[in-house]
Structure 1
């Protein structure tokens, strides 16, 4: 039997729920269906956080939901969902799911291979749905019928203890969907929760399962990992549990090296900067994130080509193409983003040329700002680019006439000075 928390035992108020979500809940209830707010929205409300979105669980089938809302569209083949549109806001409505092998389920439409869920439209009861979810804190239901919180899995107690616990046997749940390995890290970093022993110990053991996830799906999962405002902590946890190497093996190999006796800090510094921008409600771009995550292998490969006699720009172009091709085995980066990444990389040598009309033209390049931010992150991470960063920072603050005068004088930085500047080790 579930543990039912009455209205006086929890802090969720309808005033803190999207009016459109409340409208969907009441419409379903009035039509005779059970309707509950479920998942991250309930979890965040109980933690006193503002939910990013509101999802609804119901015993109504997708076609029945569509029949109630003219503004509804059905999406997904692997996991059939109803999206109810209210302008730019979308309320996602999912039918309660049952176990894939359940004989009691009302409808069978599941497909599995090697333990992985390929298609999942097996409908059932709210209790079956709760045990199908990934973590206990995501299996809490706010029932609009009596404003109670329904807990089948002990999620409320885990929430109070700050504990992230996988529902069921870790091996079974991770094999069903290996992306749960990444979700465990993401939620732990986002919420500041500890992983319970079973969930934590299985992360390294089942990390190889990520090789079974389609590379196109992992592209979006990486953005969720690093664009949630806790990217640096997520990065450190992924490396701790040997999952980062499953996503970015070339980068992990580069980060395992030291330069002049010092660890490479570029990725960590860039993710720290991204977290700050997100907290300040500034924009972040997937192409910039991936350019950061793959820069170290690109830089090392380009340097190898330069040492073999290639010029710097062609070396960067060749290195970028090679790294992207090899990375595609793990994560498929759409071309609209990879083109921007390559522009950011290839503009780095041009930022070393700070004299005359070429410098002024670079200011109007559509990727200048991203390349400049990238260049300054390199400077702040130990590369000897501080003078160039300061020069480009200053010229952007000037009027056009003053910019021309500054460009006539130029800067003393040249492509030859790309060695990393590190403080001396103490004897």
Structure 2
């Protein structure tokens, strides 16, 4: 397709991506923009990332760029670093052999493809450093809309899998047999849902049917990789649409197994709470405000913690405080086995949860001390969302904290006095300072030890 047919302009392409393309071309290599960035430019979106594909090997790319680092074992990639922007450069992927080649009797060395490419018995690709041609690379792409290659030397786009037709028909279609492609990389199921929500498209029937059958394969994906993939699902500005599709295709269970049973009823407080959290998250992202994964995961696991806490109180006879802390530890431990949430986020999650128990305690200096807590705002927002869903005393408590934050110094004093009178709190008189005088020592009344 010529420039007039695809409509992509260099003005929409990152300057750093263009630098990478030009230098690879100048060194005699083929180089293209590929995948999501080409797709987004065609549909009129601004890509967040620009990926380059080339016939240069990772080592050859590293020789061309001093600001390059090689990453990955499963997928060997070159990252060309320009400050905060990273241009990912991949070498054309080739096909894996259907059967291992027999080793030479005179040599125990395996063939290049055997060493660089490896699949599990279930068909999942464990190592994918088999290099090939651009045509092979296109066949290895996951979706038809992602198999379009932009060449800066003549401003053309080569569409290998009728991606333009898929865009016009608003269809997400896999290249090849859906079951085979999902088995190669189960994360493609999550990507199908994410692209459908992002691009307002529908997933083809054969691809959907395979998702419902093979969703459990996500348990084979390393927890660390799933953390990044789940972030893309819910912190993209289309979190609610993505969540609805994941519910529809039964993909919540393999990712959040402790939450999934609580979402069976769409009208339950748990379902309403998650939906409202995602609505608020989407609004913040789409208006340029900051969001943290800690808040989102705290919401996902709140009701599983509450349920487990109640179970510990009923079965083990523990008080609420002890049961609550045990529930936090156990629920979090189970979740990180499925999705590896970094400690910097789990620490914040714990603080948000624990502050839910402290926010009702407002007498004396506690209310002022709470305002100064570094996680107060996140905990308050969390409480407010809970109050909006559950109502009753929880909503009254959230409204009180809303008013207390906005009140003047004198108004805050009045609010605390009124609260004390309403709830029957006793006035705490200041303690008398202890003197340093020692009691006189007598034989019959010796001084205390």
Q: TM-score, normalised by structure 1?
A: 0.90
Q: What per-residue deviation string (whole Å, max 9, x for no partner) do you get for residues 10-67 of structure 1?
A: 1100111111111111111111111111111100000000110111111111111111
- Structure 1 residue 241 and structure 2 residue 246: aligned? no
Pair 1:394-2:390 in alignment: no
Match of 2:52 among 43, 52, 56: 56
- Following the alignment from structure 2 to structure 1, what is the Cα–Cα distance between the partners of residues 421 and 49? 51
2:388 is aligned with 1:380 = yes
**Residue segments in structure 1 that go unaligned for 5+ positions in a row:** 415-427
Q: Which has the higher contact order (CA 8 A, sep 6+)?
A: 1
Of residues 160-169 and 334-343 in structure 1, the stretch that sits farther from structure 2 once superposed is: 334-343
| 1:275 corresponding residue in structure 2 | 282
Cα offset, 1:383, TM superposition: 3.8
Q: Mean alpha-carbon deviation: is it higher for 288-297 or for 378-387?
A: 378-387
**What's the counterpart of residue 43 of structure 1?**
39
Instruction: Pick the aligned partner of 2:155 from 142, 147, 156.
Output: 147
- Residue 358 of structure 1: aligned partner: 366
**Cα drift, residue 175 of structure 1:** 0.8
Deviations 1:362-394 (A, max 9, x none): 111121111111100101112421211111112
Which of 200, 207, 220 is residue 228 of structure 2 equivalent to?
Answer: 220
Which of the pair has more CA radius of gyration?
Answer: 2
Tell me the distance in 2 between the aligned counterparts of 1:412 and 1:269: 35
Q: Distance in 2 between matches of 1:37 and 1:107?
A: 29
Match of 1:207 in 2: 215
Q: Structure 1: how far apart are the matches of 2:128 and 2:288?
A: 36
- Structure 2 residue corresponding to 1:162, chosen from 147, 150, 170: 170
User: How far apart are the structure 2 equivalents of 1:310 and 1:363?
Assistant: 30
- Tell me what 1:111 maps to: 118
For the Cα contact (< 8 Å) 2:51–2:89, is it kept in 1? yes
Q: Distance in 1 between matches of 2:220 and 2:336?
A: 14
Q: Please report how far the alpha carbon of residue 263 of structure 1 lies from its aligned counterpart in structure 2 after TM superposition.
A: 7.0
Aligned to 1:26: 22
Aligned mate of 2:416, from 378, 387, 407: 407
- The whole-number CA distance in structure 2 between the counterparts of 1:322 and 1:377 is 24
Where 2:119 maps in the other structure, the secondary structure is: strand
Relative to structure 1, the CA distance from residue 154 to residue 353 in structure 2 (aligned partners, 3 Å threshold; closer, same or farther) is same
SS in 2 for 1:239: helix
1:120 is matched with which residue? Answer: 128
Q: Contact 1:360/1:404 (CA < 8 Å) preserved in 2?
A: no
Give 3-state SS (helix, strand or coil) of 1:325's partner.
Answer: helix
**Are 2:305 and 1:298 aligned?**
yes
Question: How far 1:105 moved relative to its partner?
Answer: 8.6
Q: What CA distance in whole angstroms lies between the structure 2 residues aligned with 1:106 and 1:320?
A: 47
Deviations 1:120-158 (A, max 9, x none): 111111111111011111111001121111011111110
Cα distance in 1 between the residues matched to 2:269 and 2:85: 48
Q: Which residue of 2 aligns with 1:417?
A: none
Q: Which runs of 5+ in 2 are unaligned?
A: 99-110, 424-449
When the two structures are aligned, how many residues end up with a matched partner? 409
1: CA distance, partners of 2:359 / 2:90? 50
In the alignment, the residues of structure 2 paired with residue 288 and residue 413 of structure 1 have an alpha-carbon distance, to the nearest angstrom, of 33
Compute the TM-score of the two structures, normalised by the length of structure 2.
Answer: 0.86
